[in-house]
Each structure stands twice: as structure tokens, then as C-alpha cells.
Amino acid sequence: MFLGLVIAGGVAYYALKSLKIPLVKIIDVDLMQVQDGSYRGEYSAGPVAVATRVVVVDNIIKEIVIEKHQCGLGKKAEKIVDEVLKKQTLAVDIIGGATLSSQVILKAIESGLNQGLKNN
């Protein structure tokens, strides 16, 4: 029985080690450069896919709606939207235990905000 546990543990260790969480780099968007409007952003990485709708008025993010979030166990990452609204920046702390979902949500918001940049 002990040998079975050791083998099962070894298999689980190597299975988890082989899973690679994609690196998602978030680039903050200068809200002073974003025109008023409603913008849809999408992003996916690994098993996580997110679509958001971001509303900007007078260079302030007024609303962020998560339209789609395929996430498995990362549902708790959705509260990151409250931090973005409160701080008016994408430079917020990632939600522990939902790292990839947090990053993908932020990246979808970034994608939407980039659509509203004045030089686009």
C-alpha cells in the first residue's frame, strides 16, 4: 500500500510540474488617452478565456462587466474588477488562488481600453 501511495504521489508531482501557467503581462493603460465609450475586450491563456465590456466616461472607468469567464476554479478572480474600478488602474494585486484568471481578466480589460485610445 505504501508503495502505491509513493507511485501515485510521484505521478501527481510530475503531472503538476508539467503544467505550465502561461505568463500574462499586463500593461496599464493611460486613461487620459481613452475616449468616452463602451469597449469589448477578450483574452485567453491556457484553459482561461474572458470577455469584458468596459465603459469609460471623462477618462474614468465607470463600469466593467465580465460577459464570459471560462475558468474552472478561478471564479473568485472576478472580484478583481472591483479593485480596478476603485483604483482606476490595471496595476492591482492578483487574487490569490486564481492567478491565471486574474491576469486574463485584467488582460481582457486592457484589450478593451486599448480600443478606445485616441491615437487608434
DSSP run (H or E) holding 66:
strand 60-70
Percent of the chain clearing pLDDT 90 (strictly above):
74
Owner of C-alpha cell 500574462: 24
Which positions ≥6 away from 55 have C-beta within 8 Å? 37, 38, 39, 61, 62, 63, 64
Neighbours of 85 (CB within 10 A): 15
* Order of strands, sheet of 37-45, starting from the edge strand that comes earlier in the sequence: 37-45, 48-57, 60-70
Residue among 91, 83, 94 nearest 29 (CA): 91
16 pLDDT above the threshold of 70: no
- Phi and psi at 119, nearest 5°, equal -85, 5
Quote the cell numbers at residue 55: 465603459
Sorted by where each begins, the domain ranges of the chain are 24-115
pLDDT at 12 exceeding the cut of 60: no
* Backbone torsions φ then ψ of 106, nearest 5 degrees: -60, -40
Its CATH architecture, for the domain 24-115, is Alpha-Beta Complex (3.90)
Computed over every residue of the chain, the mean pLDDT equals: 87
Residue 105 burial (CB count, 10 A): 32
Give residue 55's pLDDT band: very low, low, confident or very high (50, 70, 90). very high
The band of 7, judged by pLDDT with boundaries at 50, 70 and 90, is: low
